[in-house]
Amino acid sequence: MQIQNVTIIGAGNVSWHLSQELIKAGIIITQIFSRDINKAESIAKIVNAQAINSLNDIDSESDLILLCVSDKAINEVVNKLSIEPKIIAHTAGSMSINALNKFKTHGVFYPLQTFTKGIDIDFSQTPLCIEANNRECESKLLTLAKLISKNTYKLNSEQRLQCHLAAVFANNFTNHMFHVAEHILKQKDISFDILKPIIRETSNKVQNSSPIKAQTGPAIRNDQTTINSHLNLLSDTEMEKMYSFVSQNIWKLKQQNS
Amino acid sequence: MQIQNVTIIGAGNVSWHLSQELIKAGIIITQIFSRDINKAESIAKIVNAQAINSLNDIDSESDLILLCVSDKAINEVVNKLSIEPKIIAHTAGSMSINALNKFKTHGVFYPLQTFTKGIDIDFSQTPLCIEANNRECESKLLTLAKLISKNTYKLNSEQRLQCHLAAVFANNFTNHMFHVAEHILKQKDISFDILKPIIRETSNKVQNSSPIKAQTGPAIRNDQTTINSHLNLLSDTEMEKMYSFVSQNIWKLKQQNS
């Protein structure tokens, strides 16, 4: 029997996205748990589920209990859960599958994506990384994953943590570069809009070629004239340090690769 | 009289893209200059222009001489050019308009985009930043810019340099983060493909909201447990330094903004 109904613990971004994708694929969401009943309600009403705020009310007959909570909260929930679920899985990139060792049948269902409540994404492209403590559980989680995404991966906890680390660079750090860029433009009253096309193109380029081939700019050319004129503009010490550090790193990695 | 024909000096990425956009808009490209005649030929044949490799052959009757060469080469070309062009403009983000002071009528025609020969982009969205040393020249360059892009800006040299600096963060540094991410994945034999959806979504998010609002991840939450588990993975000292530096910077800027 494949997974047909799911109880979701957590009412944040991941819960908001996953619950809706699952019902679109014909899965029943039985319950949404949050300590804050209003948060649970806000998602439960969208996916026609029961909102609950006590872990004692969790339905132990659910085919899958899916933990969509922060890394820190996983241990807390695990300690408090007194039932033996059919399958329990967490959705965290940097948590080992062993966090769920207390339960007989457990796994991981990790979507490698940046989620924001209310912003739709093309979920069919979102990588779903699966791990399980036995073959049957793995097969069930993989079948569920394939209902909502074309990109499914079987990764162990070590590989998943590596992916999560890589995603911090590709998403959080990248986004921080956009933030610094916005800050620099504001100093001369220029709208961030002017950078949107180049930001879009930067992400387009690496869809079909390696980042190292796509690299341009003063750092990779070691163009000290431009680098110095940029450093002169960066009155803010932290931004100046960032510029120097990343520029030097671009050049160093180029030397290593050539 | 508006600009109807253009001579292009340079046969790199910017020349490849701009020359083709200009002919699509009905402009005649009279000549493509490169010291390497084969490079000049490779673009000239696409845009039905004359390929030349001597600056003495530049047609002084062209409505516009457009310098699509590296920053360093601009001064060299300026020194060697012995004609008085109707209008001469460079296409460099970080060069002042004053680099062309030798000529009576001069300006800047800077496309804020990352160009790669052979990779088509939606040029109509590319910001074109215009500056000129007189009103008539400015009007002519702006009219030309509007033929090929919906996003035209009048920016002075100081603002343009600031944009160029911001673009280094938004494009070069961002792309470097992708490169480091690829490197991290390779260590565990994981394909860079797994990051492509999150990279696309990272750039999508900031099209409609500010980067600071889009920020997620361990650094903005100051989640030291995850940060430490990531630092433990980064055996490479340079990547570890980068991770620490950018994470701290994310947290510092958050404190400043809150």
> Three-state secondary structure along chain A?
CCCCEEEEECCCHHHHHHHHHHHHCCCEEEEEECCCHHHHHHHHHHHCCEEECCHHHCCCCCCEEEECCCHHHHHHHHHHCCCCCCCEEECCCCCCHHHHCCCCCEEEEEECCCCCCCCCCCHHHCCEEEEECCHHHHHHHHHHHHHHCCCEEECCHHHHHHHHHHHHHHHHHHHHHHHHHHHHHHCCCCCHHHHHHHHHHHHHHHHHCCHHHHCCCHHHHCCHHHHHHHHHHCCCHHHHHHHHHHHHHHHHHHHHHC
Whole-number percent of chain B with pLDDT over 70 = 99
Is A15 in contact with A43 (CB distance < 8 Å)?
yes
| pLDDT surpassing 90 at residue B257 | no
| pLDDT surpassing 80 at residue B236 | no
Complex ipTM = 0.94
| Chain A interface disruption, residue of B201, B204, B238, most A CBs within 10 A | B201
Compute the mean pLDDT over every residue in chain B, rounded to the nearest whole number: 95
Contacts of A196 in chain B (CB under 8 A): 206-207
| pLDDT surpassing 90 at residue B253 | no
Q: How far is A233 from chain B (nearest CA, A)?
A: 8
Q: What is the mean pLDDT of residues A242-246?
A: 94
Instruction: Look up tokens 């696309």; give the residue.
Output: B200
| pLDDT surpassing 90 at residue B256 | no
A182:B210 CB<8 A: yes
| pLDDT surpassing 90 at residue B72 | no
Q: How many residues make up chain A in this entry? A: 258
Q: What is the mean pLDDT of residues A26-54?
A: 98
Question: How many A-B residue pairs are in contact by the CB < 8 A criterion?
Answer: 301
So what's the pLDDT on residue A120? Answer: 86
Distance CA A165, CA B230 (A): 6
| pLDDT surpassing 80 at residue A24 | yes
So what's the pLDDT on residue B116? Answer: 82
Q: How many CB atoms lie within 10 A of CB A50?
A: 15
Q: What is the mean pLDDT of residues B1-27?
A: 96
Q: What is the mean pLDDT of residues B81-108?
A: 97
So what's the pLDDT on residue B1? Answer: 85
**Max Cα separation, chain B?**
67
Q: Which class for A231: exposed (0-12), middle (13-18), buried (19 or more C-beta within 10 A)?
A: middle
Cα B153 versus chain centre, distance: 15
- Residues A214-231 have pLDDT tens digits of 898 899 989 998 999 999
So what's the pLDDT on residue B117? Answer: 78
So what's the pLDDT on residue A235? Answer: 78
Q: How confident is the model at residue A77 (pLDDT cuts 50, 70, 90)?
A: very high
pTM: 0.93
So what's the pLDDT on residue B245? Answer: 93
Contacts of B171 in chain A (CB under 8 A): 198-199, 201-202, 216-217
So what's the pLDDT on residue A60? Answer: 93
Q: How confident is the model at residue A79 (pLDDT cuts 50, 70, 90)?
A: very high
Is B66 in contact with B6 (CB distance < 8 Å)?
yes
Name every residue whose Cβ is closer than 8 Å to that of residue B54 and which is 6 or more positions away in sequence: none
Beta bridge partners of B9: B33, B67
So what's the pLDDT on residue A72? Answer: 87
A174:B169 CB<8 A: no
Distance CA B137, CA B134 (A): 5
Which of B114, B84, B97 shows the shortest CA–CA distance to B14?
B114
Distance CA A139, CA B40 (A): 58
Q: What is the mean pLDDT of residues B121-145?
A: 97
Contacts of B153 in chain A (CB under 8 A): 194
Q: How confident is the model at residue A165 (pLDDT cuts 50, 70, 90)?
A: very high
3-class state of residue B96 by DSSP:
coil
- Residues B209-230 have pLDDT tens digits of 899 988 988 999 899 989 999 9
Q: What is the mean pLDDT of residues A60-88?
A: 96
- Residues B6-16 have pLDDT tens digits of 999 999 999 99
B153:A112 CB<8 A: no
Among candidates A176, A201, A220 on the partner chain, residue whose Cβ is nearest the Cβ of B121: A201
Q: What is the mean pLDDT of residues B92-106?
A: 97
Is B126 in contact with B113 (CB distance < 8 Å)?
yes
So what's the pLDDT on residue B235? Answer: 78
Q: How confident is the model at residue A237 (pLDDT cuts 50, 70, 90)?
A: confident
A196:B207 CB<8 A: yes
Contacts of A123 in chain B (CB under 8 A): none
| pLDDT surpassing 80 at residue B65 | yes
| pLDDT surpassing 90 at residue B119 | no
Distance CA B158, CA B96 (A): 8
Q: Which two tokens stand for residue A142?
A: 């993989």
